[in-house]
Structure 1
């Protein structure tokens, strides 16, 4: 049986941990050549090692998506080494420390927006150009359910950046679908990663909080998010365009 991504090249940002690492592993298991990118070279090396241990093919480029030249180098290096980009999962993001809106400093606001919104715009800008040269491709952006409901105090910058990213995804999807580039987003809720922990909160305390707050009663596994990304990247979702798929166990229902 042919794997869904045999011979395809998949780029994953934020690939050094969490959802990014789980998704990179999932793409590799399905036959893709995976390029992982992120700020921490050691984390990227660990992801590549995990993929190679399973017999997959992976590569890594350290990159900060808030720096335009880093993004250009990332896309150029991926194309030079592997010929093209078939799928891009733009997953790098930060939450920022929980702070009431009127107390957020400009530097923190700028960091969150630069990473979660401007960084994804920069990635799409150069991914789209590369994909057009190759006749098309698929892009999936990581937004968040807080961008839809905005009900978590202290995360105004994060919520604003993710709401804007969801809208940017829809705009880009309409602009480029006729050129063979299919663009969607995912909006996870609480996932079993460090980002889901509030300051000073233990994993057990988080699990109890999420059980009380969320209809499904638990956090998502990173593998569950990865499975959804692969579905959106595959031909199985070929008619899905400009959609923001919410993965939050009913929290926004």
Structure 2
């Protein structure tokens, strides 16, 4: 047993994990799950108070977490953050980026071109930067996992602006990274959820309708939860999933049809 009472047999025992957007609902859920499985988590984001709250939650349950204020769209800040963690931990095992893309969701005939292209630009830029920074160290150690969140697929809805296109672009980037990093033992995987009800703010206009739609499309008698996301992310990031790369892992309770 470890001093904090956690078993040394956790799926991620001894792993070092970077989580961008670690103060958010999904980033926080995955951070808690990683820590519960024995990983040391490094939470990065732009709001210190949110990061500190997640770190406190993790430490109160016996886990280990550190925080850093980082703009995941800034090349110098990302490289410096990853470099500091690598110097201290001597390895980078997991990189998970779940920052928001500032998307404006409107029909294509109504949306401004800058609003349309913004999420596409932000998604591809941040995932390029954070993956490259982590891969620099993962290649040297011959192993590592890059985890993305969002997914794509053939389905879409009207009025999403550039959001769905951004997800499609992320999947293209994932395929490219997986191909180029695979021979160095680095895996790249996407998670797709189809919507997590817990992440929808109560004040959002039309929330009840959105919740009904998510529930109606699920094939199970339940929808995916934040706990589900954390549990699946932990498995994907672990050595138990060592043969999984260049893939989309579906945790949508059947709402998203694989293709």
Same fold (TM over 0.5): yes
Q: Could you list the runs of 5+ residues in structure 1 that have no partner in the other structure?
A: none
2:75 corresponds, among 64, 68, 81, to: 68
Richer in helix (by share)? 1
**Does 2:254 align with 1:250?**
yes
Alpha-carbon distance in 2 for matches of 1:57, 1:139: 20
Q: CA-to-partner distance for each residue in 1:45-83, whole Å, 9 max, x for gaps?
A: 111111111111101112222221221122122213322
1:115 corresponds, among 115, 122, 140, to: 122
The correspondence of residues 130-141 of structure 1 with structure 2, limited to 5 A, is 130-141=137-148
Q: 3-state SS of the aligned residue for 1:121?
A: helix
By how many angstroms is 1:199 displaced?
Answer: 4.3
Q: Could you list the runs of 5+ residues in structure 2 that have no partner in the other structure?
A: 1-6
**Does 2:178 align with 1:173?**
yes
**Does 2:234 align with 1:230?**
yes
Alpha-carbon distance in 2 for matches of 1:163, 1:196: 25
Contact 2:118 2:162 in 1 (8 A): no
Residue 7 of structure 1 corresponds to 14
**TM-score, length-scaled by structure 1:** 0.90
By how many angstroms is 1:190 displaced?
Answer: 1.0
Q: CA-to-partner distance for each residue in 1:122-153, whole Å, 9 max, x for gaps?
A: 11111111212333211111123xx2134221
The correspondence of residues 149-188 of structure 1 with structure 2, limited to 5 A, is 149-188=154-193
Alpha-carbon distance in 1 for matches of 2:232, 2:62: 23
**TM-score, length-scaled by structure 2:** 0.88
Contact 1:95 1:155 in 2 (8 A): no
Q: 3-state SS of the aligned residue for 2:53?
A: helix
Show structure 1 runs of 4+ deviating over 6 A. Answer: none
**Does 2:206 align with 1:208?**
no
Between stretches 215-224 and 49-58, larger displacement belongs to 215-224
Q: How many residues align?
A: 250
Between stretches 188-197 and 128-137, larger displacement belongs to 188-197
Query: CA RMSD, aligned part only?
Result: 2.1
Distance 1:69 1:111, change over 3 A: farther
**Does 2:56 align with 1:52?**
no
